[in-house]
Amino acid sequence: MSEKKILLLGSGFVAEPFVKYVTRRPENKVTIASRTEANAQALAAKYPGAATGVSCDINNDQAIEDLVAQHDIVISLIPYIYHAKVIKAACKHKKNVVTTSYVSPAMMEYDQAAKDAGITVMNEIGLDPGIDHLYAVKTINEVHNEGGKIKEFISFCGGLPAPENSNNPFGYKFSWSARGVLLALKNTAKYLEHGKVVEVSGVELMDSARVLNTGYPGFAFVGYGNRDSTPYDKRYNIPEAETILRGTMRYDGFCQLAKALFILGFLSEEEQPHLLASAPEIAWNEVVAKVVGVSDVSEEAIKAAIIQKTNLANNPRKDQIIDGMRWLGFFSNTKVTRRGNLLDTFCATLEEKMQYEENERDLVFLQHRFEIELKDGSRQTRTSTLVDFGVPGGFSAMAKTVGVPCGIATQLILDGKLTAKGVVAPMTTDITEPIIELLEKEGIGMVERIL
């Protein structure tokens, strides 16, 4: 076997399951390129002889080009805003690319250049997006081939702590930046429901959360829309669908607490003089008193003002929400980490209190629900469900379910079994079927049921 040179950009937490998968094949040699050379080398050291670590500045176009030119395929696991730059270099040097990110307009601009270069730029091949597409396309094709129609497609996905580790008021822990998770709560969700386009923005997003009937009563999940689901009538080839919703899943209780914090202004990026690094030290009760407009920093005064401002007086979750704020330290004289505005100051506390501890495990839960009209006019409900837990001391469920599909797609391209040219995503059976086959060999897959 001739040697295959793989360039991996990024050494973050999904990188190792990818490296572990592709280095099973002795001909594969991986160069791990990271902003911090020590991180790249630490990961490479776990795979001696198969991987090497180098430093790379993504803002240095020439350095990126030189690295891309020396390899057969480039895997970009860096922030999505840089993928277009990587694809540009890959088109020039005729090298294939794999990313786990959504195809952005900036990436799509290189579709023709990639086709002209005869290369595959494979995207959206992690968990969500990724595994979700594979099994959506599978069921949709099966139904269409039998003469049926998809009337509703509803899909929710969540990366959460396992139930026994959901031991905080949010039922959530951060494996990456708290800031990104919180800012996503301000996004507008857009979806199709009973033939009408619905848009939900800002604080209404948390109100729109629905209790999910997953068929797994041991989990108390709610879900709300994630970004724009409306293009999926075309992406999944289901023009007949009257409802199309892709959403985010959380444990029940998350949305009520998040909504109260949103109303109070804790997602604000506006500069506050008393939160500047140069300002005097300030305690949480003083910060929250300013937020709710009281001068008295006693718990009673702050609590009364919060209840009034967030309209909690008759809310059945009032005590739970107030308990959550107490847990966060809002009524305490604990000094805050001043980061200039309420959002970043709040994130400093979340990152301190809501990290995964040693020996804790995460959970990935993904479920599609299809309402189907069969050829004979009768109705049917189908579900596809993935439940995966992390292994303490091993890979998290999230790292595995993103890194392994990415590794499988990479290997299929190297083996010449995945040959679609241009900027593509797993939306057609020539791509999805071989990936599903290999994914299930790794013990990862969605369980399909007819209800």
Q: How far apart are CA 86 and CA 99, in angstroms?
A: 10
Residue 242 corresponds to which amino acid? E
**227 sits in which H/E element:** none
Q: Contact at 8 Å (CB) between 8 and 75?
A: yes
**Ordered strands of the 28-34 beta sheet:** 51-55, 28-34, 4-9, 73-76, 96-99, 120-122, 422-424
From the candidates 72, 128, 323, 376, give the one annotated as an active-site residue.
128
Residue 408: CB atoms within 10 Å: 25
Residue 295 corresponds to which amino acid? S
DSSP per position, 82-128: GHHHHHHHHHHHT-EEEESSPPPHHHHTTHHHHHHHT-EEE---BBT
363 burial level (CB within 10 Å; 0-12, 13-18, 19+): buried
Q: How far apart are CA 197 and CA 126, in angstroms?
A: 28
Whether 128 is catalytic: yes
DSSP per position, 252-267: TTHHHHHHHHHHHTTT
Q: Which residues neighbour 324 within 8 Å (Cβ) at sequence distance 6 or greater?
A: 169, 170, 257
The tokens for 360 are: 């804790």
Q: At what angle do helices 342-353 and 284-292 cross, to 10 degrees?
A: 140
Q: How far apart are CA 344 and CA 126, in angstroms?
A: 29
How are the residues of the chain apportioned to helix, strand and coil, as percentages rounded to the nearest 5?
Answer: 40, 25, 40
The region that residue 215 occupies, defined by phi over 0 for left and psi between -120 and 50 for alpha, beta otherwise, is left
What residues are annotated to the active site? 128
